[in-house]
Structure 1
Amino acid sequence: MKKATVYDIARLAGVSASTVSRILRGSAKVAEEKRIAVENAVKELDYRPNLMAQSLKTGQSMTLGVLTQYLDSPFSNEMLRGVETTLEGTGYVPIVVSGHWNPQQEMERLRLLISRRVDGILILTGHVSQQNLVELSQQVPIVAAGHNINTERVRSYNTNSRLGGYMATRYLLDLGHKNIAHIVGLADQKDAVERLHGYRQALISAGIEFNPELVVQGDFCEVGGRAAIKTLVDGGRKFSAIFCANDQTAYGALLGLREHGLSVPDDVSLVGFDDLPFSTFSNPPLTTVKQPIFETGVKLAKTLLSMIEGAESEEQDMHDELPELSIIVRQSTQEYTG
């Protein structure tokens, strides 16, 4: 059976082949009835575009490079879900690579994506320097999460982690807790440092002296959260609540507390950061700071598509465009009565 062409669609829809091409690219401003006629013809003829031919003609590969850190990260996967949802129906396909929080690996992966002739790059957080971002953007447009840079060829969006750390700690203080421990994320990760600053600011604002013995290093993963509990308990440190740098850390902390005979929230209240999908189903369900992970993925993808298509980008701060941080209260916290 002969494969349908743009000319076949044009004849069936009663429009020109150039109009069909523009509608398929999403760049045509035509009457709604013409658009519907073309869409119906595409379905009737089961049209499948020749992507190789389109690439040669337009100079576009219709692929977008995506740099994440770990393929098994629930945080990155939630952001990637926002990216994929946005790309549905656009003709663009993501190529995903991992950087493992290693600046050298990240640069190698980004250069690999550029060598594959991607039309643009999305960075779902990482350690690439602003200077490197600017240099790479001379070859392809880039949109990144976790950075503070906006040029003609590089756009970025960043969550206010310091505010989130303050909100989490302030919430525990308002419940009556004073001895609040904090399990920090990766030592060289900006978000971890900012959340620690927010934790300290909340204590200071409540007139509580910062106790470095209640701050334990984690790694943004379950293993680190579990190990941090052992450090706290074995060290005889007094605490009634814990603010974890992210939800994955909190999952590990939940297990660690149980292993030491402590109940959440009866003995220890626990707060995470992210509001990952599993946090609704942890035991007990986790109180956490909700940040717009999925929405950030959507915004990253929309911004990159606009840059590729030459549309003017709205120069707004991320906090004006995305939902604000909020505390999602569940069953892992309660008022302190001790």
Structure 2
Amino acid sequence: MAGVTLEQVALEARVSTATVSRIINGTGKVSARRKKQVMDAIEKLGYRPNLVAQSLARGQSMNVGVLTQDISSPYFSQMHKGIEQGFQGSGYHPIFVSEEWRDDQDHAALEVLLSRRVDALIVLGGYIEDDVLLKISRNTPMVVVGRLVPGLEKQCLQVNNHHGGLLATRHLLDLGHRHIAHIAGPDTHYDAVERMAGYMQALQEAGVPLNRQLVVEGQFSEEGGMRATEKLLKLGMPFTAIFACNDQSALGAQLVLQKKGFRIPQDISVVGYDDLSHSAFIYPPLTTVRQPGLKMGRAAAQCVLDLLSEKSPHLPAFHNELVVRESSGRAAGSEVIVPAETATLAVEAKPVQKRKRASKKDS
């Protein structure tokens, strides 16, 4: 039945409109008998409360803005799913707006969310300046995921990206690699900068000089990973392994290497970052650093609900994990140093650089 009013529900249930309103809004005490009368009437008539009017009356929109780096990113889609799960049954609904990797000084995406009068914000990484976020947080409850904002430490959910970069690079060093290329993410993004810092620290700890020519930006995408790998090969600088800043870049790197006739990992090892769902099903399956995106999304939603309830948010600890698969193997002629707790595939390899198929020209 279309256009059913509160008054019609009250008439059907033989109660006042004030009683119907209290039951719908969960305010005030109502007897179980009257509550059943009203709920039966609502079901019979097909009444749908005006959520917009209710939210305006409460001074709330019941919407939570989510500022994400890339709405189409497989990694962020895991986090988006976790956020949606975290808000289920709460009455709040997430609105997702993407930065699309823009270096936008006007912060248009953020302004879109604020113009919707959202009750809270979740910021997933990104490049927006700390002072901008801190200023907004004074009027809008905010949870930041993937970075630390000074002054908002109790509302920041983090995974140690620096440690993840260390894990990936140390793994390759333990396999005997000393010429390790790095496909970096955009230097405007905190997670990319921290992962590269972990890569650089691991080299330093191992006494391996950093070769800046082996660090190429890959834009966190498959296409970017392809372009970065093509650039590395054209430089002619020998390398036996690639640590890519995310799995998408790593997949692009593997595709170029295989097209050029390189064997993975016998000629060149590849390590990614994120552990996307399909990374275990490519060939060869990708060694990577796992991030708990789904759990982080759920936790971010719960932190927002705590803030909106004026509770102290609970900040769970999240950890990266190295997942070793067949895309990484030992460097040619090297002695493998395998940590006791890590199972690593050891493969015989030959010292080949820029090996081409005999029947094809290098493109």
Query: What TM-score bracket applies, with the shorter chain setting the length?
Result: 0.7 to 0.9
Kindly state the Cα deviation for residue 4 of structure 1 after the two structures are TM-superposed.
Answer: 8.7
Is the aligned partner of 1:323 residue 2:318? Answer: yes
Which residue does the alignment assign to 2:157?
157
Structure 1 stretches lacking a partner, 5+ long: none
Q: Select between 231-240 and 94-103 the one with higher mean Cα deviation.
A: 94-103
Change (3 A) 1:246 1:174: same
Instruction: Provide the secondary structure at the position in 1 that maps to 2:289.
Output: strand
How many residues are paired up? 323
Kindly state the Cα deviation for residue 44 of structure 1 after the two structures are TM-superposed.
Answer: 5.8
Q: Deviations over 1:5-35 (max 9, x none)?
A: 6977xx79xxx86874566x9xx9xxxx99x
Kindly state the Cα deviation for residue 259 of structure 1 after the two structures are TM-superposed.
Answer: 1.9
Which residue does the alignment assign to 1:93?
93
Kindly state the Cα deviation for residue 153 of structure 1 after the two structures are TM-superposed.
Answer: 11
Which residue does the alignment assign to 2:265?
265
Q: Deviations over 1:97-121 (max 9, x none)?
A: 1222335366222222222111111
Contact 1:272 1:288 in 2 (8 A): yes
| C-alpha separation in 2, matches of 1:331 and 1:43 | 59
Instruction: Provide the secondary structure at the position in 1 that maps to 2:177.
Output: coil
Q: In structure 2, what residue type is equivalent to 1:135?
A: K
TM-score (norm 2): 0.78
Which residue does the alignment assign to 1:78?
78
Instruction: Provide the secondary structure at the position in 1 that maps to 2:288.
Output: strand
Contact 2:66 2:123 in 1 (8 A): yes
RMSD: 3.3
Is the aligned partner of 1:336 residue 2:331? Answer: yes
Change (3 A) 1:124 1:215: same
Q: In structure 1, what residue type is equivalent to 2:71?
A: L
Is the aligned partner of 1:121 residue 2:116? Answer: no
Is the aligned partner of 1:249 residue 2:249? Answer: yes
Instruction: Provide the secondary structure at the position in 2 that maps to 1:65.
Output: strand
| C-alpha separation in 2, matches of 1:176 and 1:337 | 8
| C-alpha separation in 1, matches of 2:256 and 2:42 | 55
TM-score (norm 1): 0.83
Q: Select between 228-237 and 158-167 the one with higher mean Cα deviation.
A: 228-237
Instruction: Provide the secondary structure at the position in 2 that maps to 1:336.
Output: coil
Which residue does the alignment assign to 2:219?
219
Kindly state the Cα deviation for residue 282 of structure 1 after the two structures are TM-superposed.
Answer: 1.9
| C-alpha separation in 2, matches of 1:22 and 1:105 | 42
Instruction: Provide the secondary structure at the position in 1 that maps to 2:155.
Output: strand
- Identity among equivalent pairs (%): 40
Contact 1:287 1:333 in 2 (8 A): yes
| C-alpha separation in 1, matches of 2:81 and 2:328 | 29
Change (3 A) 1:42 1:219: farther
Instruction: Provide the secondary structure at the position in 2 that maps to 1:274.
Output: coil
Change (3 A) 1:326 1:60: same
Change (3 A) 1:193 1:42: farther
Kindly state the Cα deviation for residue 224 of structure 1 after the two structures are TM-superposed.
Answer: 1.6
| C-alpha separation in 1, matches of 2:248 and 2:242 | 14
Kindly state the Cα deviation for residue 71 of structure 1 after the two structures are TM-superposed.
Answer: 2.0
Which residue does the alignment assign to 1:169?
169
Q: Deviations over 1:125-163 (max 9, x none)?
A: 211112111222233211122331365798222321111
Contact 2:222 2:251 in 1 (8 A): yes
Structure exhibiting the larger radius of gyration computed from Cα positions: 2
Kindly state the Cα deviation for residue 246 of structure 1 after the two structures are TM-superposed.
Answer: 0.7
* Superposed counterparts of 1:22-61, under 5 Å: 48-61=48-61
* Superposed counterparts of 1:134-149, under 5 Å: 134-149=134-149
Change (3 A) 1:327 1:131: same
